[in-house]
């Protein structure tokens, strides 16, 4: 249909996985293991579930369109002003709000090869031009990204850790990059997997906001907080940027259950710590398994790991699917020989490794 804008016509749709029930029916299986979307294998915090239950009687009302209580909790936890916070329907929505508020067809947007698939979508949807910078060792090449900045550049996306590679930039390197950006360029630091980073390696990115008014830090409740299904993301920025994001967002972009659950999840430190612990153990379990299978992987700071299966990732993915294990082929990220595997429970990780062993003997 030729009436779509040129940028939109060039887009390839983001393809989410099929619902598990549908796959189970198709494959005649009842015990599918899904390690494909970087979700929390422990599920949501019990405190979040209780908050949802307590909110159910209010569903005839509109939600709080300013998300006051969640913003207050975030402001307190991260020592920022409420005016610096924007809430989104998933952090994906924040990325989109940024594109809508700050980009026109005259602008260029810089992101890395193998970077998150939503960056080109939000860029091209508003007619701006994406500039893809070749990766260095599967991670961001910050020098090359800086060298690509020109007068037309309005925004740079950096995912740290990156999805699907899991690569992490050193904090000092990242800060130098942000400091070197000219003031007409916004830096969107996408920290969707922040909580999984080893505390020794975490960037103190929120503290950088004071010196860098062009910085936006985005985070989410979808990963470590186990609320992917509710769609809650947030950003920290200077209040001026938050004000513009607020002008373009839909008035009730976060639903009432999501707001209540996110606020409760934020207070459940124990659930978060259990999540991080099971992730660290599971990462080690998968890596040990890869080593036994003589496979190489990209060291990951997230809750997933990309492994080089040394043959078509799509073929291995299909074969694993037949065994009831869903992982993510990443050919669309220019990594045709890799599979991205989310860290699951110990039993799920074992199932995945066993299936991988059997499949690699065949494919």
Q: Given the rule CB under 6 A, which residues bind ligand PMP?
A: 38, 90-92, 116, 159, 163, 190, 192, 220, 222, 228, 233
Q: What CA–CA distance (Å, rounded) separates 222 from 112?
A: 23
Q: What CA–CA distance (Å, rounded) separates 222 from 3?
A: 35
Q: What CA–CA distance (Å, rounded) separates 75 from 48?
A: 19
Range list of β-strands (E), the chain: 33-34, 85-88, 108-112, 129-133, 153-159, 186-190, 215-220, 233-236, 296-298, 304-308, 325-326, 328-330, 335-342
Between 253 and 359, CB nearer to ligand PMP: 253
State the nearest-atom distance from the C-beta of 233 to ligand PMP, in Å.
4
State the nearest-atom distance from the C-beta of 37 to ligand PMP, in Å.
7
Between 111 and 297, CB nearer to ligand PMP: 111
HEC readout, 214-276:
CEEEEEECCCCCCCHHHCCEEEECCHHHHHHHHHHCCCCCCCHHHHHHHHHHHHCHHHHHHHH
State the nearest-atom distance from the C-beta of 216 to ligand PMP, in Å.
13
Token digits of residue 278: 């099971």
State the nearest-atom distance from the C-beta of 28 to ligand PMP, in Å.
29
Between 17 and 293, CB nearer to ligand PMP: 17
Between 14 and 104, CB nearer to ligand PMP: 14
Token digits of residue 133: 């910078």
Between 297 and 333, CB nearer to ligand PMP: 333
Q: Is 38 helix (H, G, I), strand (E, B) or coil?
A: coil
State the nearest-atom distance from the C-beta of 228 to ligand PMP, in Å.
6
Between 84 and 92, CB nearer to ligand PMP: 92
Calculate the alpha carbon distances from 189 to 112, 194, 214, 220 in Å: 13, 11, 11, 12
State the nearest-atom distance from the C-beta of 90 to ligand PMP, in Å.
3
State the nearest-atom distance from the C-beta of 286 to ligand PMP, in Å.
18
Between 48 and 355, CB nearer to ligand PMP: 48
Residue nearest to ligand PMP (CB): 90
Token digits of residue 116: 């998150």
DSSP 8-state symbol, 337: E
Between 163 and 349, CB nearer to ligand PMP: 163
State the nearest-atom distance from the C-beta of 108 to ligand PMP, in Å.
21
Q: What CA–CA distance (Å, rounded) separates 188 from 218?
A: 7
Between 38 and 285, CB nearer to ligand PMP: 38
Query: Are the beta carbons of 17 and 326 closer than 8 angstroms?
Result: yes
Burial bucket for residue 66 (CB in 10 Å: 0-12, 13-18, 19+): middle
Strand bridging mode 215-220 / 186-190 = parallel
**Torsion angles phi and psi, residue 280, rounded to 5:** -60, -45
State the nearest-atom distance from the C-beta of 91 to ligand PMP, in Å.
3
Token digits of residue 90: 């998933």
């Amino acid at each position: 249909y030729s009436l779509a804008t040129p940028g939109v016509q060039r887009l390839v749709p983001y393809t989410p996985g099929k619902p598990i029930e549908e796959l189970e029916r198709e494959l005649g299986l009842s015990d599918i293991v899904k390690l494909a979307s970087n979700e929390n294998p422990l599920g949501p915090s019990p405190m979040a579930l209780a908050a949802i239950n307590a909110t159910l009687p209010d569903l005839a009302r509109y939600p709080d369109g300013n998300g006051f209580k969640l913003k207050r909790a975030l402001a307190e936890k991260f020592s920022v002003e409420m005016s610096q916070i924007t809430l989104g329907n998933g952090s994906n929505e924040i990325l989109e709000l940024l594109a809508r508020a700050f980009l026109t067809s005259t602008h260029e947007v810089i992101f890395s090869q193998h970077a998150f698939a939503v960056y080109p979508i939000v860029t091209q949807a508003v007619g701006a031009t994406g500039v893809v910078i070749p990766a260095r060792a599967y991670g961001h090449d910050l020098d090359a990204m800086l060298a690509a900045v020109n007068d037309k550049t309005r925004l740079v996306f950096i995912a740290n850790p990156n999805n699907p590679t899991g690569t992490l930039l050193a904090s000092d390197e990242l800060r130098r990059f942000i400091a070197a950006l000219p003031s007409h360029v916004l830096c969107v630091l996408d920290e969707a997997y922040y909580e999984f980073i080893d505390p020794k390696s975490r960037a103190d990115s929120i503290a950088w906001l004071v010196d860098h008014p062009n910085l936006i830090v985005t985070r989410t409740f979808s990963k470590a907080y186990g609320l992917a299904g509710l769609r809650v993301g947030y950003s920290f920025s200077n209040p001026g940027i938050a004000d513009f994001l607020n002008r373009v967002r839909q008035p009730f972009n976060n639903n009432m259950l999501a707001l209540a659950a996110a606020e409760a999840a934020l207070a459940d430190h124990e659930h978060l710590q259990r999540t991080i612990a099971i992730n660290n153990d599971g990462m080690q379990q998968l890596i040990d398994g890869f080593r036994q299978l003589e496979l190489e992987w990209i060291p990951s700071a997230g809750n997933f790991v990309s492994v080089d299966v040394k043959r078509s990732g799509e073929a291995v993915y299909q074969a694993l699917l037949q065994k009831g294990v869903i992982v993510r082929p990443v050919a669309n990220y220019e990594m045709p020989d890799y599979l991205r595997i989310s860290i699951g429970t110990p039993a799920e990780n074992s199932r995945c490794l066993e299936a991988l062993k059997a499949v690699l003997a065949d494919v």
